[in-house]
Amino acid sequence: MFGVADELLHLAIQYGPNTLPDAWTGNPSLADTDKRFATYFSPTLFSLALDEWLTGSGVKLLLDTWVSVPVMATRHCKGVIVENKTGRGCYLAKVVIDATGDADILYRAGVPCICGKNYLTFIAYASTVETCESAVQSRNILQSRRWLTIGSDLWGNGHPKQMRLLTGVTAEDVTEYVMQGRKLLLERLKIDPPAQRDLSALPGMAQFRTTRRIVGAYELTDADEGSHLEDSIGVAVDFAHPGRWYELPYRILYNTDYDNLLTAGRSVSAAGWAWDVTRVIPVSATTGQAAGVAAALSARQNVVLGELDAKLIQDEMLQSGVKLHMS
C-alpha cells in the first residue's frame, strides 16, 4: 500500500515485538522477497505509539467525544454537533470527513447509504500455562498470547445457528453482537481449568466487518479487480487472494449531491467482495490519507469535492510513496 499505511505498519512495531521480514525493512519498492509484507505486533504498544505520533504531529485530540448531528444547510455540511464531558459543542468546518467506519455522519446528513449483513466473529486475546511456557523457552513474548476466536470465519462458517445476521447500525445490533460473543466465549473458557488460562483483552468494540457505506459517485465492485481507473488514489491488494488487486478511484469517497462531505475506510462506496477488500486497515489508511488530502485541497482552493482535479490528489499521494496504478 505504501504511504500512511506503510508508516503505520512500522509504527506498530516501533516499541514492541515484530516479525517483519528483513527484506521489508528498507524501501518497500526495492524489496526482493516472496515473503508477505506483514508482521505480528502488540496492539497496546501500538496505541501508545499512535498517541506519540499524533501529538508530535500537532494533532489536537478530544477523547470520549461523539458526533451526534451534522449541521446541514440543505446538502452542504457547515459542521458537526458533538457531545463529551464538557457538554455539547459545535465545530464548524469547510469540509467534513466521516471516519466513523459506519458512515454515521453522512447517513445523518442524508447521504444515500447501504447496510451490510454480518456474521458473528468474536476475537479475544488469551494466555494459557502452555503459551507462557513457550514464551519463556523461546524468549519471545509473542508466544505468551494467542487469538481465541469464537463464531464465524470470513465466509460464515461457524456462525451460531438460529442467530440472525446483523447490520451493526443500531444499538440493539451492537448489544446483541457483543453479548452473544461474550456468552459463547465464556462457554468456551469454562472447559479449561481456571488456573491454567486467562484473558488478557476482550474486544474494545463490536467486531463487525461491513456495517453501512455510502452510495458514492462511483461504486467499486468485483468487476473492477485488475482494472485501470484513471482517478485512482491507491492500490488495494486482496488480502485473501494473493495476486488480486483493485485500484481505488477518488470517486468512492463522496456522493456528488453533497459538496463537502467525504468518507474513508470501510464506509467508502464499494460492493460485494470489493467492500471486504476496502474495509481492512491498510486500505482504510490509504483512503483516509486521500480523503485528508482532498479535504485540504478543496478548502484551500474553495472547490467542491466533485469538481476537484483528482490529479492534484494523486500528486500528493505519489510524494508519500503511494502506488496509484498497476496497469
Q: What's the whole-number mean pLDDT along residues 35-41?
A: 90
What is the Cβ-side half-sphere exposure of residue 33, based on CA atoms within 13 angstroms? 16
Select from 140, 171, 201 the last residue of a domain. 201
Same domain assignment for residues 241 and 283: yes
pLDDT tens for 255-300 read 999 999 999 999 999 999 999 999 999 999 999 999 999 999 999 9
Count other C-beta atoms under 10 Å from residue 222's C-beta. Answer: 15
Report residue 157 CA to chain centroid gap. Answer: 23
Same domain assignment for residues 217 and 106: yes
How many independent structural domains does the chain possess?
3
**What confidence category does residue 52 fall into, taking pLDDT thresholds of 50, 70 and 90?**
very high
CA dihedral 86→87→93→96, nearest 10 degrees, is: 100
pLDDT tens for 92-110 read 999 999 999 999 999 999 9
Please give the pLDDT value at position 169. 97
Whether residue 234 lies inside any domain: the answer is yes
Q: Which of 32, 43, 64 is nearest to 281 (CA)?
A: 43
DSSP-derived pairing of the beta strands 66-73 and 232-237? unpaired
Whether residue 83 lies inside any domain: the answer is no
Helix, strand, coil tally for the chain in percent (to 5):
35, 20, 40
Is it the case that residue 69 has pLDDT exceeding 80? yes
pLDDT tens for 128-146 read 999 999 999 999 999 998 9
Whether residue 64 lies inside any domain: the answer is no
Whether residue 268 lies inside any domain: the answer is yes
pLDDT tens for 177-204 read 999 999 999 999 999 999 999 998 899 8
Q: What's the whole-number mean pLDDT along residues 300-326?
A: 96
Same domain assignment for residues 132 and 152: yes
Residue carrying C-alpha cell 519498492: 29
Same domain assignment for residues 142 and 159: yes
Please give the pLDDT value at position 95. 98
At residue 251, what is the residue type? R
Q: Which of 317, 315, 312 is nearest to 299 (CA)?
A: 312
Length reported for the chain: 327
pLDDT tens for 198-253 read 998 899 899 999 999 999 999 999 999 999 999 999 999 999 998 999 999 999 99
**What confidence category does residue 25 fall into, taking pLDDT thresholds of 50, 70 and 90?**
confident
Same domain assignment for residues 247 and 171: no
DSSP-derived pairing of the beta strands 261-263 and 96-98? parallel
Q: What's the whole-number mean pLDDT along residues 42-65?
A: 95
Please give the pLDDT value at position 132. 95
Whether residue 76 lies inside any domain: the answer is no
Same domain assignment for residues 106 and 125: no
Is it the case that residue 1 has pLDDT exceeding 90? no
Average pLDDT over all residues of the chain: 95
- Contact (Cβ atoms closer than 8 angstroms) between residue 323 and residue 4: no
Q: What's the whole-number mean pLDDT along residues 147-165?
A: 94
pTM of the predicted model over 0.85: yes
For helices 310-319 and 281-301, angle between their N-to-C axes, nearest 10 degrees? 120
Domain interval for residue 156:
121-201
Whether residue 174 lies inside any domain: the answer is yes
Same domain assignment for residues 236 and 314: yes
4-34: burial string, b at 16+ Cβ within 10 Å, e else: bbbebbbbbbeebebebeeebeeebeeeeee
Residue 128 burial class via C-beta count within 10 angstroms: exposed 0-12, middle 13-18, buried 19 and up? middle
**What confidence category does residue 172 fall into, taking pLDDT thresholds of 50, 70 and 90?**
very high
- Contact (Cβ atoms closer than 8 angstroms) between residue 274 and residue 227: no
- In three-state form (DSSP H/G/I as H, E/B as E, the rest C), the secondary structure along 31-44 is CCCCCCCCCCCCHH
Whether residue 250 lies inside any domain: the answer is yes
Is it the case that residue 327 has pLDDT exceeding 80? no
Please give the pLDDT value at position 88. 97
The DSSP-derived string for 178-222 is HHHHHHHHHHHHTTS-GGGEEEEE--SS---S--EEE--SS-B-G
Please give the pLDDT value at position 26. 83
Same domain assignment for residues 44 and 107: no
Percent of the chain with pLDDT over 90: 91
CA distance 312 to 195: 59
Whether residue 14 lies inside any domain: the answer is yes
Same domain assignment for residues 101 and 154: no
Residue carrying C-alpha cell 494459557: 128
Is it the case that residue 13 has pLDDT exceeding 90? yes
Is it the case that residue 23 has pLDDT exceeding 80? yes
Same domain assignment for residues 216 and 185: no
